[in-house]
Structure 1
Amino acid sequence: MPDIVHIGPAPLSPLAAQEFVRMRDGVRLATDVYLPEGDDAAGDSILIRLPYDKVGVYTFIPLIAEYFTARGYRVVAQDVRGKFRSEGEALLFVNEAYDGYDTIEWITQQRWSNGRVAMWGDSYYGYTQWAAVSTQHPALKAIAPRVTGTQLGEPVRRDPASRTSGVEWAITYLYPLTYFHSADAYFWDLDPDRRPFSDQVEEVLAELGSRSISYDQWYPRPVHLRRFPAGSPFDARPVPTLHTIGWWDNCAPLSWADVAEIEKRPAWAHSHFLRIEAMDHESYYLDDPDADRVEERTEDQLRAQLPRMLDPALDFFEVFVRGNVSAADIPRVSWNLAGTPGMRSSDSWPPAGAESSTLFAASGGGLVTQAQDAATTATWTHDPLHLVPSSVGNAFAFLLDRPDEQALGDRDDVLVFTTEPFVRQVDLAGPVTARARIHSDGPVMDLFVRLLDVAPDGSALRIARGQVQLHEATEPATVEIDLGQLGYRVEPGHRLRVHVCSSDYPEFIPQPGTGAEPWSAVETRVNRQSLAVGGADGLSVTVTVLRQAQEPEEQP
């Protein structure tokens, strides 16, 4: 039985007055109101709706509210329905649309509100912004979602007409058991050596004495949740949006999927502004000094990062909430070329001057610019009892550790392909994809492809990744792998490397090798995996190279 850590609500902030805001069905949500000191007039408000405790250490909302109120904003921070001090049932995603609308309506009726509301927040409290947008409250003037997506937490669903699908995150099953079991939060570690994983969940639920509705809705048969009962946010009236994505955010694929949806709608695209930074989901940055790479940051460390985190949103709100600055002064795309200081700007993503360039795996382990004529087959094993480990313990905080993945390439179950050292710097800016011809002696095959920057000392930093699951895998198939988007400078003397393997545990649920559903599987079997190298179907990786040099316009 795993140890369970129970976290309840933290003490209320002395800077705020707690209110209980009534929703349309009578449920009351605990809501903190922070007002600018000495300012009794009505003003603009920033709403933050989150499930992580509105006064908890993890999200440090009181410090954020203090920063916003210093700029004259009224800040409203709310525990979502069923969480911490709020009433109602803890249920993932489905109540956020109308609860957001009702909270905005309540704000507009307060003496300290002038009727203009913005929203801000990361991850789930970025999702609550999209949910509120879907209900089209006229008082919502701008949003600033960070590291999030409208399909956050959506289980992988396979199209029966396709042989491929996504690979399921373990967090998909664990998140409903941690933050959405009930009002408080409960944390425990999955034991990789005990199968089935589903039995460990049942032990935890028995110990807690109650079930998680959200878990039962997702497993064993996922229920289609009405996330947006008023309709998709992208079918709603466009709201000016500052959309922040991290190069190392493990949820970035969800963000980029939303960008693709927005680009299909001209009115939304006109209201959409993109900001891409060299950070992960927990706002650790590539260029953080080692002293700031700590799991529990001090108050001084948190305060020091607030300008970097909040100033872009404040500048955005100055335009679209207060109307004090022209929208022409906000770049359509602000982005950091990782490995360089400052932010660059462009009118679109990828930026002008970006061109595709393809690298091909070679039989000797090379990564070259022209495919070999001769086709060979590279093989490796997938052993469910000896899995390729995830490179960090917390997938949401990759840059906390900024791990060196060189040693993973020494494993027998990881294929490695590497370029020669670069003779000049190369700037990568845009999508990264891979193409591979694969098969297995097992019925289901997971393929993980990682792109790394290898320094002259041999250390290897992962800069892009993607994965795909192949069904009926005994029959060969050509698969396309989306490795996401990339903004990164490869320095002279460095090399690019590709790692290929079939597991990444515990971040992704591993295949048992038998074709059984992996969360409940007991029996395991070793599979032999095969990959074409060279020839027309050989493994290739296509990157986007910025041929036109750009200089940063915004210094850190």
Structure 2
Amino acid sequence: MISVQRTGPGPLSPEATQYMVRMRDGVHLATDVYLPPGDVTPGPTVLTRLPYDKCGEYTFMPRIAAYFTARGYRMVVQDVRGKFRSEGETLLFVNEAYDGYDTLDWVVNQQWSDGIVGMWGDSYYGYTQWAAASTGHPALKAMVPRVTGTRLGELPVPIPGQRTHDVEMSVHRFYPLSMFHDRDILDWAIDWTRRPLAAQVEEFFTAVGSRSASYDLWFPHPVSLRRFPAGSPFDAPAVPVLMTIGWWDNCAPWQWSDHRELQRRPAWARNEYLLLEAIDHENTSHFAPGEAMSVETMAARYLDPAVEFFDVFLRGFDTVIPRVRWQLANTGDPSFRSSAVWPPGAAYEMEWQPTATDPSAATLAPVSAAGVAGPAGDVAVWVHDAADPVPSPVADPFGFLREFPDERHLADRPDVLVFTAAPVTVPLDLAGPIRLDAVIGSDGPEMDLFVRLADVAPDGTARLIARGQQTILNPGDAFAVTIDLGHTGYRLPAGHALRLMLASSDAPEFVPAPGTGEHRWTAAKTIPNRQCVYLARTRLTCTVL
């Protein structure tokens, strides 16, 4: 029996005036306007378009609006099409570009607007900024997309001729069944151990009496959604953009992908600024893991960078903003370092190689110019069984730092390979990208490779530094693959050691491969697969200072 809890819109804020703003096709979107106290003159506006309820407690938009308006900005907050008080079809991604354009048009025609607009927000309401930017609206003068990406939530599907792709996250298909099923938020739970998973979705549809258009477009035969019908945002006119990326944000790969795209385009590269924080997707800070999520406690680190950025690019202040500001985690010092580029100019690459096939003697050895000596045939083997997958370390991967668990228990599993380096004698500062180049093999039709890099303290505690994962199709006996572990700014203290962990599952955060080659949501049975990695042909590369 599927149990569903429905959350509708919160009460309208007495500080805002709600308007139903007409889009070009006649659909009206619910839009709150907050004005600075006692200020009736035209001025710059901050626009946020989100699907999580403009009046709800989760995003506390009235309090954020009060913060911006107290600093002289008008703020406009809008429920996206099909959500909460807005009209129209509830459908992921496809309407955000032109709805953003039409909303910008409406804003600049109000008597309180001076025709200058900036956009701000996290996650999906970071994506709506890129959607609006793709239209090239001339009023959009700056944006601050946080923990987001233009490919946010993009369903990983095989590309013809390509043998690797991203691993499917559980949230990929569950998001349109909870956040984008209809106007409300629907809270319910899938039993990830009961197969086929798709059968539970049909039970959910029966329970609520309706289907999800977004889910049906993605299953069973995925339709490529037109996120940017006006063209790629990277081909649109460049505007100043402050990219906030979290070291422990599970959505960071999409934002780092955007960063690479921006750097390939000179106009965007000149307008990009990076704010690299020791946070997760829910803005929990590594330096304050117990801090309650509220504007009152987080304002300085959550909103002040945006205010400073808008002051420069919306109001013309002459403040100098560094191109890159970044935090070095695990130092006890939350202050930001600055540099002209990322990684910092003094950074360089160091390599390590996993050695030994005996689990009791597996090590991670630094690679010198001469390399690491070891038998070319060294192969480490493990068995992936989707019926008993490696458990995800946290219950909520979006709020990873709320738990920030000790992961030493993963080393006790036979389906996790563990390689631990010797403790460092002086602190080692990681600052930049991390990757694993490996040659792997499997007797199954597909293979997921999960890579985790951890900090092992003298007492045995193991905390995650970075991670990455890929699905490999038809891996065969030997397939060369590169796993991107993202970027970090992290200090490994003296006496601590790096630990590399390899596995083929991380459930339920990621949907485990059934081992049969069938679709992960329709497979009714699972088959164990034998996986291997060729150690002499495997390298971990970290960027260090």
Does residue 318 of structure 1 match 2:311? Answer: yes
Deviation at 1:222, TM superposition (A): 1.2
Task: Give me the whole-angstrom Cα distance separating, in 2, the residues matched to 1:428 and 1:400.
Answer: 22
1:521 is aligned to 523
SS in structure 1 of the partner of residue 207 of structure 2: helix
Kindly provide the amino acid, as one letter, of the partner of residue 490 in structure 1.
L
Task: Give me the whole-angstrom Cα distance separating, in 1, the residues matched to 2:307 and 2:145.
Answer: 13
Deviation at 1:367, TM superposition (A): 0.4
SS in structure 2 of the partner of residue 510 of structure 1: coil
1:353 is aligned to 346
Kindly provide the amino acid, as one letter, of the partner of residue 303 in structure 2.
L
Deviation at 1:347, TM superposition (A): 0.8
Q: Superposition pairs for residues 14-29 of structure 1, below 5 Å?
A: 14-29=14-29
Kindly provide the amino acid, as one letter, of the partner of residue 544 in structure 2.
V
Does residue 401 of structure 1 match 2:403? Answer: yes
Q: Superposition pairs for residues 421-432 of structure 1, below 5 Å?
A: 421-432=423-434
Q: Superposition pairs for residues 146-545 of structure 1, below 5 Å?
A: 146-290=146-290, 292=291, 297=293, 301-326=294-319, 329-340=320-331, 341=333, 342-363=335-356, 364-370=361-367, 371-374=372-375, 375-533=377-535, 535=536, 537=537, 539-545=538-544
Task: Give me the whole-angstrom Cα distance separating, in 2, the residues matched to 1:469 and 1:106.
Answer: 44
Deviation at 1:159, TM superposition (A): 2.5
SS in structure 1 of the partner of residue 268 of structure 2: helix
Q: Superposition pairs for residues 536-555 of structure 1, below 5 Å?
A: 537=537, 539-546=538-545
Deviation at 1:473, TM superposition (A): 2.7
- 1:323-349 CA-partner distances (Å, limit 9, x unpaired): 0225xx110111111123210111111
SS in structure 2 of the partner of residue 462 of structure 1: strand
- 1:517-545 CA-partner distances (Å, limit 9, x unpaired): 11110011111211112x3x1x3210001
8 Å contact from structure 1 (residues 238, 267) kept in 2: yes
Task: Give me the whole-angstrom Cα distance separating, in 2, the residues matched to 1:409 and 1:373.
Answer: 23
Task: Give me the whole-angstrom Cα distance separating, in 1, the residues matched to 2:70 and 2:411.
Answer: 50
- The farther-off stretch of 156-165 and 106-115 is 156-165
Q: Superposition pairs for residues 70-85 of structure 1, below 5 Å?
A: 70-85=70-85
1:102 is aligned to 102
Deviation at 1:8, TM superposition (A): 0.5
Task: Give me the whole-angstrom Cα distance separating, in 1, the residues matched to 2:155 and 2:383.
Answer: 27
Kindly provide the amino acid, as one letter, of the partner of residue 373 in structure 2.
Q
For these two proteins, the number of residue pairs brought into alignment is: 534
Deviation at 1:163, TM superposition (A): 2.2
Identity of aligned residues (%): 56
SS in structure 2 of the partner of residue 259 of structure 1: helix
Relative to structure 1, is the Cα distance of residues 188 and 505 closer, same or farther in structure 2, using a 3 angstrom cutoff?
Answer: same
8 Å contact from structure 1 (residues 362, 372) kept in 2: no
- The farther-off stretch of 118-127 and 384-393 is 384-393
Task: Give me the whole-angstrom Cα distance separating, in 2, the residues matched to 1:397 and 1:159.
Answer: 31
Deviation at 1:502, TM superposition (A): 0.6
SS in structure 1 of the partner of residue 303 of structure 2: helix
Kindly provide the amino acid, as one letter, of the partner of residue 119 in structure 1.
M
Deviation at 1:373, TM superposition (A): 2.4
Deviation at 1:102, TM superposition (A): 0.8
Task: Give me the whole-angstrom Cα distance separating, in 2, the residues matched to 1:331 and 1:144.
Answer: 15
Task: Give me the whole-angstrom Cα distance separating, in 1, the residues matched to 2:60 and 2:45.
Answer: 18
TM-score scaled to structure 2, two decimals? 0.96
- 1:445-501 CA-partner distances (Å, limit 9, x unpaired): 111010001111211111111111122133321211111111111110110001111
2:57 is aligned to 57
SS in structure 1 of the partner of residue 471 of structure 2: strand
Task: Give me the whole-angstrom Cα distance separating, in 1, the residues matched to 2:373 and 2:156.
Answer: 36
Task: Give me the whole-angstrom Cα distance separating, in 1, the residues matched to 2:526 and 2:62.
Answer: 48
SS in structure 2 of the partner of residue 257 of structure 1: helix
Deviation at 1:162, TM superposition (A): 2.5
SS in structure 2 of the partner of residue 168 of structure 1: coil
Task: Give me the whole-angstrom Cα distance separating, in 2, the residues matched to 1:125 and 1:188.
Answer: 23
SS in structure 2 of the partner of residue 53 of structure 1: coil
Runs (5+) with no aligned partner, structure 1: 547-556
Deviation at 1:115, TM superposition (A): 1.0
TM-score scaled to structure 1, two decimals? 0.94
Kindly provide the amino acid, as one letter, of the partner of residue 76 in structure 2.
V
Task: Give me the whole-angstrom Cα distance separating, in 2, the residues matched to 1:82 and 1:124.
Answer: 14
Deviation at 1:289, TM superposition (A): 4.9
Runs of 4+ in 1 over 3 A off after TM superposition: none
Kindly provide the amino acid, as one letter, of the partner of residue 263 in structure 2.
E
Relative to structure 1, is the Cα distance of residues 220 and 289 closer, same or farther in structure 2, using a 3 angstrom cutoff?
Answer: closer
Q: CA RMSD in A?
A: 1.1
- 1:17-36 CA-partner distances (Å, limit 9, x unpaired): 11110111111000111111
- 1:390-432 CA-partner distances (Å, limit 9, x unpaired): 1111111100111111111111111100011110001111110
1:7 is aligned to 7
8 Å contact from structure 2 (residues 355, 374) kept in 1: no
Runs (5+) with no aligned partner, structure 2: none
1:552 is aligned to none
- The farther-off stretch of 365-374 and 494-503 is 365-374
8 Å contact from structure 2 (residues 326, 338) kept in 1: yes
8 Å contact from structure 1 (residues 197, 520) kept in 2: yes
Kindly provide the amino acid, as one letter, of the partner of residue 369 in structure 1.
P
Task: Give me the whole-angstrom Cα distance separating, in 2, the residues matched to 1:234 and 1:472.
Answer: 34
Task: Give me the whole-angstrom Cα distance separating, in 2, the residues matched to 1:72 and 1:433.
Answer: 44
Kindly provide the amino acid, as one letter, of the partner of residue 185 in structure 1.
I
SS in structure 2 of the partner of residue 436 of structure 1: strand
SS in structure 1 of the partner of residue 20 of structure 2: strand
